Chain A
Amino acid sequence: MNITEILFWFLTALAILSALMVVFSRNPVHSVLWLILVFFAISGHYIMLNAQFLAIVNLIVYAGAIMVLFLFVIMLMNMNSDSEPQKNKWLKMAGTVAGGSLLLILVAALKNSEVQYQKVEGAQGTIGLIHNLGKTLFTDYVVPFEISSVLFLSAMVGAVVIGKKD
C-alpha cells in the first residue's frame, strides 16, 4: 500500500463513517458537524483527484456557507435531540432496507461496468487548476454562467418573498 492508497482508504472511511453519523445522530447540531466532516473528507478526495479548485470551493460553499446556514437555522429553532419525534419503527426499518437494497443492486450492477479497470491517477493533471477552469468557464460556459445568475435572482426573490415577515 502506498501513501495514496492509505490516504484514499482513510478519507473514504472518514467520509462514510461521518455520513452514517449524520444520519444516526439524534442531535441535529451534531448532524451538521458530522456533515461538515464529510465535506472535508470529500475535499480531500478532490485534492487527490487533481481538482484543487473544487476542493476549495467545496469548503467555501458547503462547509463555509451552506452548513453555517443550516447550523444557524437549527439554532434559530432551538432544536435538540428531544424535540424530534421518532419515526415509526417499521417505517425506519423499511427505509433502511430499501436504501440497503438500492445500494446492493447498484453495486451488483456496476461492479461489472465497462470502465471498472480504468485508473484515476498516475499522471498529474492540470485541468483542475483554477486558471484552466476559469478559462473554460469564461469561454465555453458563458451561457450557463449567465443563466445561473437568473437562478440566483429567483432564489433572491424567493428568500425575500418567503423569508420576509409581513
Chain B
Amino acid sequence: MSKLIYLVPLFPLLGFLINGLGRKYLSKSLVSIIGSGTILASFIVSLMIFFEVKAPGFAPQVVTLFDFIDVAKLKISFAFQVDQLSALFLLIITGVGFLIHLYSSAYMHEETPPHFARYFAYLNLFVFSMLLLVLGANFVIMFMGWEGVGLCSYLLIGYWFKNDDYNKAAKKAFVMNRIGDLGFLLGIFWMISQFGSTDFSVVFAGADGTPVKILTGITLLLFVGAMGKSAQIPLYTWLPDAMAGPTPVSALIHAATMVTAGIYMIARSNIMYTLSPVTQAVVAITGLATALFAASIALKQNDIKKVLAYSTVSQLGYMFLGLGVGAYTGAVFHVMTHAFFKALLFLGAGSVIHAMHHEQDIRNMGGLKKHLPITHITFLLGCLAIAGIPPLSGFFSKDEILTAAFLKSPVFWVLGVLGALMTAFYMFRLYAMTFLGKFRGTHDQEHHLHESPAAMTIPLVVLALLSVFGGFIGVPEVLMKNGHQLENYLAPVFAQSTAKMHEEHHLSHVMEYMMMFGVAAIILVIIIIAWNKFSRYQKTTAEATGLGRVLENKWYVDEIYDTVISRPLLGFSSFLSKFDKIFIDGIVNGVGRLVQYSSRQLRWIQSGQVGSYILIMVTATILLFIIQFFWKS
C-alpha cells in the first residue's frame, strides 16, 4: 500500500490542474466535486496507509519516486517518507482538508464560476504543498512544500484582491514567511556541510555524535523557519492579518495546513532537538511567551476571526512549549485536536459570517442561538474543547503538554495554566457575545438570519464529533491503563529521543489528579464569569440602567472582576497590541526604509557618467590589487 503513497499528493495536484486549466469551462458544481473529490480520494488512500502503518511490525519506509539530481556527490531524491508521523499528518491534512473543501463549496457559492474554480485550484495546490511538506523524505522536499504553502497562502489571502488591505496582508504574510524560510534554508545548507546530505535517515543517524554547538546552530536556524511558518514571536503578526482571506482558507491555514508545518518539522527532527538543550529551552520559552502574549491580545478583539486567529497563535505556542519540554507526542496530539476544534470554530465563524452577510464584528451580533442552532451547538462544543473541559479533546492534549511542562519547571506550568485560563475567558466572551443575549445588528440583518446549508453544517457536525471524542486516543495513564494509544502509535518515531532523554520522574497520581481537575475547575469558573458578563453585553454605555436588581448584584461581582482581573488584563492586552503595532511593525518598516535609503544612494552613483563609472572601476581595481598584494600577505 505504501507504494501507492504518491497518489496522496497526486490527487490534489490533478485537482489543481483540472480546476486551474478548466476554470472557464467547468461548472461550479463540477469544480466543487473535483476539488473536494480529489481530497477525499487522498483521504481514503491516507486512511489505507494509516492502517498499514498502524499494524504492528511496520517498518518506516522511504519510497523513492525518482531522483531530482543524481550526479557526482550530490544526490537529491524525490522520495516520500512513510511512517507513523507522516501517516498521522496525512490523515489530519486530508481529513480536515476535505471537510473544509466541502464547506467551501457552499460558502463560496456567490462567486462567479472562473473565480470559484480558481479558488478551488489554489485550495488544492495548498493541500498538495502541505502533503509534499509532510511526505518528503529529505529536507529539500520539505523545503519545497514549505515554500509552496507560503506561496499558496499568499495567493489565497490575496484572493479577494479588490481590497488593498488584503493585498498588504498577503504581502506581509509572504515576507514574514520568507524571513522564516531564510533561516530554514540556512539550516539546510549548514546541514549539508555537516552531514553531506539532507536525507532524514542520514541526518538523524549522524546527529548523535555531532558537536552540540553545531546541532544547536542548525536547530536554531530551523526553528527560525518554524517561527515564520507557525507564527511565533516575533514573526507571528502575519497570521492575524492574514484573516483577510475567505474564512475557509483561514480554517485551512490554521487547522490543517501551514501553521502546523513548524510543529511537524520539529517533531520530525526531534532527535536533533533533543540533543541540543539550548534550542529546546529557546523553543519552550518562545512557545510559552507566544501562548501568553497572543492569548492576552485575544481578550480584547472584537472581530470574530481575529479572536480565533490570536487563539491559534496562542495554541501554537502551547505546541511549541510541548516540543520544547520534550513532549513530542503531546505536541502532535495537540496539533491533531487543535485541527479538529479550530477547523470547527473557524467554519462555525464562517457560518455566522455567512448568515450575517459578512459582518465580523461580534459587538453587532448576539442572540444567534436560536437562528443558527446547529452552528451554535457545534461552536459551543468547540469552545469547550479549546478551553479544556474534560472529557473533550482539548483537555487531554493540553493536559499532556502542561504535565510535561511541570516536570521541566513549575514556572512553565503556572504560566501555561494562566494562558489556558485566558483562553477559556476569551473563547467564552466570543461565544457569549455571538450567540447569547439579544441581537444587536440591523433589522435587515436580523431578517435574513438563517441556518447555513447542509454542505456547511455537515462538516461542522463531523468536526464537532471529532472535537468531542478525538481526545480519547490519548487518555493519560493515570486515568486509564494503556489509554494513550497515540503515544504507543508514535513511539517508534520518537524512540531515539526517548532513549536520549533523562529518565522521567513521574508525578504522583494524586498530584496529577489535582493538577488535571484543579485546572479544569478554575477554567470552569472563568467560563461562567465570562458567560455571565458577556451574554448581557450591550452595545451602548447606557445599558446599565435597564438592568434588574439581581443583575445589579451580579454587576457587583463583575465590577470586582473587572477591576481585579479584567481591566488589567484588557489594559495589558491593548498595550500589547499597541506594542505590536509600533514596535514590530516599526522594525519591519525600518528595515524597509533602510533598504530604500541605500537604494537611493546607489542610484545616485549610477549617474550615467562614463567617467565616474570608470573612475569607480579603477578605484576598485586599485583596491583589489592592494588586497591581493599587500593586505593578505
Seen from chain A, the residues whose Cβ lies within 8 Å of a Cβ on chain B are: 87, 91, 94-95, 98-99, 101-102, 105-106, 108-109
Excluding A109-B625, A109-B629, 5 further A-B contacts by CB distance (< 8 Å) are A87-B611, A99-B618, A102-B618, A102-B625, A105-B626
In residues 575-623 of chain B, which contact A (Cβ within 8 Å)?
611-612, 615, 618-619, 621-622
Contact size class for B? 10 to 19
CB distance from A134 to the nearest CB of B (A): 38
Residue on A nearest B628 in the bound complex, by CB: A109
Interface of A is mostly: helix
Q: Which chain B positions have C-beta within 8 A of A106?
A: 625
Q: Which residues of A contact B611 (CB under 8 A)?
A: 87, 91, 95
Quote the shortest CB–CB distance from A16 to chain B (angstroms).
Answer: 20
Candidates B612, B622, B626; contact of A91 at CB < 8 Å? B612
Q: How far is the CA of A160 from the CA of B521 in the complex (A)?
A: 94
Which residues on B sit within 8 Å (CB–CB) of A94? 615
What residues on A are CB-neighbors of B618 within 8 Å?
98-99, 102
- Asked whether A91 lies within 8 Å of B615 as measured between CB atoms, the reply is yes
Question: Which chain A positions have C-beta within 8 A of B622?
Answer: 98, 101-102, 105
Distance of A87 Cα from B622 Cα, bound (Å): 23
The CA-CA distance from A94 to B611 in the complex, in Å, is 10
Task: Give Cα A142–Cα B96 distance, bound, in whole angstroms.
Answer: 73
Complex-state Cα separation, A105 to B621, whole angstroms: 10
Complex A-B: 25 CB contacts under 8 Å: A87-B611, A91-B611, A91-B612, A91-B615, A94-B615, A95-B611, A95-B615, A98-B615, A98-B618, A98-B619, A98-B622, A99-B618, A101-B622, A102-B618, A102-B621, A102-B622, A102-B625, A105-B622, A105-B625, A105-B626, A105-B629, A106-B625, A108-B629, A109-B625, A109-B629
Cβ of B619: which chain A residues have Cβ within 8 Å of it? Answer: 98
Q: Within the assembled complex, what's the spacing in Å between the Cα atoms of A102 and B619? A: 8
Which chain B residues border A108 with CB–CB below 8 Å? 629
**B residues at A contact (CB < 8 Å):** 611-612, 615, 618-619, 621-622, 625-626, 629
Q: How far is the CA of A106 from the CA of B625 in the complex (A)?
A: 8
User: A79: shortest Cβ distance to chain B, in Å?
Assistant: 18
Q: List B contacts of A109 (CB < 8 A).
A: 625, 629
How many interface contacts (CB-CB < 8 Å) are there between A and B?
25
**Distance in angstroms between the alpha carbons of A101 and B622 in the assembled complex:** 7
Expressed in whole angstroms, the minimum distance between the Cβ of A57 and any Cβ of chain B is: 29
B contact face: mostly helix, strand, loop, or mixed:
helix
Which B residues lie within 8 Å of A101 (CB)? 622
Closest 9 CB pairs of A and B: A98-B618, A109-B629, A105-B625, A101-B622, A102-B622, A105-B622, A98-B619, A98-B615, A91-B611
What is the bound-complex CA distance between A98 and B620, given in angstroms? Answer: 10
CB-based nearest B residue for A91: B611
Contacts of A98 in B (CB 8 A): 615, 618-619, 622
Chain A: CB-nearest residue to B612: A91
Q: Which residue of B lies closest to A92 (CB)?
A: B611
Which residue on B lies nearest to A109, using beta carbons?
A: B629
Looking at the assembled complex, report how far the CB atom of B626 sits from the nearest CB atom of chain A, in whole angstroms. Answer: 7
List of B residues within 8 angstroms of A99 by Cβ: 618
CA distance A95 to B616 in the complex (A): 10
List the B side residues contacting A102 at CB < 8 Å: 618, 621-622, 625
Cα distance, A87 to B615, chains bound together (Å):
13
Q: Which residue of A lies closest to B629 (CB)?
A: A109
Q: How far is the CB of B628 from chain A (nearest CB, A)?
A: 9
Minimal beta-carbon separation of A95 from chain B (angstroms): 6
Give A50 Cβ to nearest chain B Cβ, in Å. Answer: 32
Interface centre among A91, A94, A105, A108 (most CB of B within 10 A): A105
Question: In the complex, A108 Cα to B149 Cα: how many Å?
Answer: 58
B614: nearest chain-A partner, CB-CB: A95
Query: What distance in Å separates the Cβ of A110 from its nearest Cβ neighbour in chain B?
Result: 10
Q: How far is the CA of A160 from the CA of B612 in the complex (A)?
A: 32
B109 → A minimal CB distance (Å): 62
CA of A87 to CA of B619, assembled, Å: 19
User: How many Å from the CB of A84 to the closest CB on chain B?
Assistant: 13
A132-B625 Cα distance, complex, nearest whole Å:
38
Which of chain A's residues have a CB closer than 8 A to the CB of B625? 102, 105-106, 109
In the complex the two chains form, what is the Cα distance from A108 to B618 in whole Å? Answer: 17
Which residues from B are CB-within-8-Å of A105? Answer: 622, 625-626, 629
Minimum CB distance partner of B617 in chain A? A98
Q: In the bound complex, how far is the Cα of B619 from the Cα of A101, in angstroms?
A: 9
Which residues of A are found within 8 Å of B615, using beta-carbon distances? Answer: 91, 94-95, 98
A108–B626 Cα distance when bound, in Å, is 11
How far apart sit A164 and B621, CA to CA, in the bound complex (Å)? 38
- In the bound complex, how far is the Cα of B82 from the Cα of A31, in angstroms? 79
Across-interface contacts of A95 in B (CB, < 8 A): 611, 615
Residues of A within 8 A of B621 (CB): 102
Report A89 CB to chain B, min CB distance, Å. Answer: 13
In the complex, A115 Cα to B180 Cα: how many Å? 55
Within the complex, what minimum Cβ distance (angstroms) separates A108 from chain B?
Answer: 8
Q: Complex: how many Å from CA A100 to CA B231?
A: 57
- Taken together as a complex, chains A and B put the C-alpha atoms of A157 and B622 apart, in Å, by 38
Would you give the shortest CB distance from A114 to chain B, in whole angstroms? 14
Residues of A within 8 A of B629 (CB): 105, 108-109
Instruction: State the CA gap A105–B625 with chains docked (Å).
Output: 7
CA distance A101 to B620 in the complex (A): 12
Provide the residues of chain A in CB contact with B626, threshold 8 Å.
105
| Closest beta carbon of chain A to B625's beta carbon, Å | 5
Interchain CA distance A101-B625 in the complex, whole Å: 11
The complex places the Cα of A95 from the Cα of B625 at a distance, in Å, of 18
Query: Which B residue's beta carbon lies closest to that of A110?
Result: B629
CA distance A98 to B625 in the complex (A): 13
Q: How far does the alpha carbon of A109 sit from the alpha carbon of B622 in the complex, in Å?
A: 12
Docked Cα-Cα span, A87 to B612, in Å, equals 11
Residues in chain A near residue B612, CB distance under 8 A: 91
Docked pose: A23 CA to B621 CA in angstroms: 21
Complex alpha-carbon distance, A99 and B629, angstroms: 18
CB distance from B623 to the nearest CB of A (A): 10
The minimal Cβ–Cβ distance linking A55 to chain B, given in whole angstroms, is 31
- Determine the distance from Cα of A94 to Cα of B629 in the docked complex, in whole angstroms: 23
Bound complex: CA A98 to CA B629 (Å): 18
Report the separation of the CA atoms of residues A99 and B617 in the bound assembly, to the nearest whole angstrom. 11
CB A80 to nearest CB in B, in angstroms, measures: 22
